Structure 1
Amino acid sequence: MMDDFEKYISDNAEAFNTERADRDNMWLQINTVLEAGKTKVVPLYKRKLFLKIAASLMALMVITFFYTHFKPSIVTENQLASKELLEIDMHYKSLVNYQVALVQKNPKLSTADKNEFLSFMDELDAEYLALKKEMEINLDNEQVLEAIVANYKKRIELIEKLLERLNETKKFEQNYEYTL
């Protein structure tokens, strides 16, 4: 069946090739369709929204530049002050914590005495936290740093006096026991 169809096409090939496409007419129709759908092109720089966005981005870049340009000097000052505070904290906290542990483990003190002592320490802790907040606000203030050191020294002094009194009573009891 296909063979008959192919034979018919090859025999009548000239009859099929009689009509040619009118290319000029086809392109004319394509151009009329394209011209009818032509839109007005507005450049981006003429749009108000584009100008607003561009101005905002430029302002953001300028602010970022100045912020990063001047910020490192502030950061280094903050780091120095906070490093100094950290060193002071580490030194005195270890002393205070050790001495508080000695007081808490002391069998000569009653629970009421220990609680009273710890309440004094809590008051000094509250004062220390207030000083630390002040130090965060005003990092270059030497007076605040000195007050923090004085707070720690006061804590240590209280603990040492308490331990000294306990040791004096212990010596008195030991001397009393050895007397014949």
Structure 2
Amino acid sequence: MKNTDRLEDFIRTNREGFDNLEPSADIWEKINGDTKKVKVVKMRTYLMRIAAVVAIVAISAVLVNNTLIKDKGFSRIADPEINELLDTEKYYAQKVNGKLEEIRKCYSTFPDIKDEVEMDLVELESMYDTLKNDLKDNMSNKSVIEAMIENNRFRLKLVDSVLEQVEC
């Protein structure tokens, strides 16, 4: 312990002899340049960014929702007669699709009817799609909706007759 105390005493008494060199100003500038500057982000700025993102998302959601509602092919129209025709068309379309599922179950039992039925249905479906495209152009066109209903009635008769013949 005495050796440490003697060394400490020696350094204290001769301190000025050790501090004879001063660092240059260039070294201090280099040290200041090398240290990273801490970027301070204020909480208010951070909250403003979050609020802006939330506002953009909300506006986008409203715009997308409005666009989808306007683009719907069968949106409701003020004319109740058109609405009734659209409901009738939807009813027949659901009936046809349900019976088509029954026929498709019979394909394994009666594979020879598959090509014939599918060919007839594809032809009727292409006519139906053409009518649907015409309807998009003019939603209040009663004759197009009536033609779609007639197409669905014909498809329903076709599927019913196939179901009667195969009885599966």
For Structure 1 versus Structure 2, the TM-score category normalised by the shorter chain is 0.3 to 0.5
Structure number with higher relative contact order (C-alpha < 8 Å, ≥ 6 residues apart): 2
- The TM-score with structure 1 as length reference comes to 0.44
- The TM-score with structure 2 as length reference comes to 0.46
Q: Give the structure with the higher percent helix.
A: 1
